[in-house]
């Protein structure tokens, strides 16, 4: 696995493809895992299971603090994804049950009670994002673009050698996921826009164009770790197109219908495992210079 002959295949666009597939496949599998926790694996005990899974995610983030860049990036993404899936999403499930919130018929696919409750966190999200937005050491491309175009001088960056990559990737995963949940829930709400509003149609087109733009930038990445970090927003933005199409009823949400789509879900799960393995064994350094 570590031979030069094997490593030579990890040239652009292989890291980009692997990275995008990891993040994209996980979006669907995360929905599947959440459904199975509630209805099959831990019915009546899903909140306890969610707490334990969140602890596992937090431990993974902790384990990545002094790891190599590749390992830290993978642990950060996996840990952040588990923390979001468990502690965050199931906290809204808990509150929705306590308040007896009903699903909302927004579009062809009902909006579940926990997502209606999630809308209440929009102020907390924007308030806490200020910490990252005004952080002079941010490497977020979107934040740096805003700093440049708004003329904001947040200070000079310090050396990136001391950065806790796993923690940064975990927070990126959580906040990017959170932000786009908020965006979709706002445009779906008929009191604001609605699923048939022109804003929703424009958003679907914009997400598709934006994702394509990011993919062509990601295409030339030569190393797995930076590719995966860039793929987090890229794949989630692309997934938003899938979400809107499901909301319009154009495609089925197979993740919450495992009895009907068991084969399809199994194939996606196998593909996810495969690309994660490929990411784990990927070389830590660039093998071929881009200029060559």
Nearest to 59 by CA among 86, 38, 35, 24: 86
Residue 289 pLDDT? 45
Q: Largest Cα–Cα distance in the chain? A: 61
Tell me the C-alpha distance between 155 and 158, whole Å.
Answer: 9
Q: What is the chain's mean pLDDT, rounded?
A: 91
Regarding pTM above 0.95, the answer is no
Q: Are 188 and 181 in contact (CB under 8 A)?
A: no
φ/ψ of residue 111, rounded to 5: -85, 120
CA distance 134 to 191: 32
Domain boundaries, the chain: 10-145+166-280
Residue 7 clears pLDDT 70, i.e. is over it:
no
Count how many residues are written for the chain: 292
Is the confidence at residue 288, as pLDDT, over 50?
Answer: no
In whole angstroms, what is the distance from residue 108 CA to residue 113 CA?
16
CB-side exposure of 114: number of CA atoms within 13 Å?
14
Tokens 């673009």, residue located: 145
Alpha carbon distance 113, 100 (integer Å): 8
Q: Judge contact between 185 and 115, C-beta under 8 A.
A: yes
Alpha-carbon Rg for the chain, nearest whole angstrom, is 20
Digit-coded pLDDT (tens) for 262-279: 999 999 999 999 999 999
- Strands (DSSP E) found in 60-145: none
DSSP-assigned beta bridge partners for residue 104? 111
pLDDT tens-digit map of 171-230: 999 999 999 999 999 999 999 999 999 999 999 999 999 999 999 999 999 999 999 999
d(CA 173, CA 75): 11
For 98, the 3-state DSSP assignment is: helix
> pLDDT tier at 133 (50, 70, 90 boundaries)?
confident
Query: Nearest Cα to 244, choosing from 286, 186, 288?
Result: 186
* Of 9-13, 147-151, 282-286, minimum mean pLDDT range: 282-286
Hunting for tokens 């890291």 — which residue is that? Answer: 15
Residue 67 CB-half CA count within 13 A: 20
Q: How many helices (H) and strands (E) does the chain have?
A: 12, 0
Decide if pLDDT at 156 tops 80. no
Do the Cβ atoms of 193 and 200 come closer than 8 Å?
A: yes
H/E segment holding residue 103: none
Task: Say if residues 125 and 106 touch (Cβ distance below 8 Å).
Answer: no
Reading the block at residue 246, the tokens are: 């499901």
Tokens 């070389």 belong to 283
| Residue 241 or 161, more confident | 241
């Amino acid at each position: 696995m570590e031979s030069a002959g094997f490593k030579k295949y990890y040239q652009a666009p292989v890291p980009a493809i692997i990275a995008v597939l990891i993040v994209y496949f996980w979006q669907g599998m995360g929905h599947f895992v959440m459904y199975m926790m509630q209805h099959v694996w831990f019915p009546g005990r899903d909140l306890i299971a969610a707490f334990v899974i969140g602890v596992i995610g937090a431990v993974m983030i902790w384990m990545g603090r002094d790891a190599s860049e590749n390992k830290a990036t993978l642990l950060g993404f996996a840990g952040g994804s588990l923390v979001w899936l468990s502690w965050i999403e199931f906290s809204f499930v808990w509150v929705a049950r306590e308040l007896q919130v009903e699903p909302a018929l927004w579009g062809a696919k009902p909006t579940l009670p926990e997502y209606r409750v999630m809308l209440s966190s929009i102020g907390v999200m924007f308030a806490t994002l200020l910490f990252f937005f005004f952080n002079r050491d941010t490497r977020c491309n979107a934040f740096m673009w805003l700093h440049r175009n708004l003329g904001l001088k947040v200070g000079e960056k310090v050396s990136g050698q001391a950065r806790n990559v796993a923690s940064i990737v975990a927070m990126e995963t959580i906040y990017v996921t959170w932000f786009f949940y908020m965006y979709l829930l706002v445009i779906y709400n008929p009191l604001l826009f609605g699923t048939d509003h022109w804003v929703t149609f424009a958003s679907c087109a914009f997400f598709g164009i934006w994702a394509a733009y990011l993919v062509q930038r990601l295409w030339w990445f030569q190393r797995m770790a930076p590719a995966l970090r860039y793929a987090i927003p890229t794949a989630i933005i692309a997934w938003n197109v899938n979400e809107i199409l499901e909301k319009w009823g154009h495609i089925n949400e197979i993740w919450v219908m495992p009895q009907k789509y068991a084969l399809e879900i199994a194939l996606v799960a196998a593909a996810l495992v495969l690309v994660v393995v490929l990411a784990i064994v990927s070389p830590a350094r660039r093998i071929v210079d881009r200029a060559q």
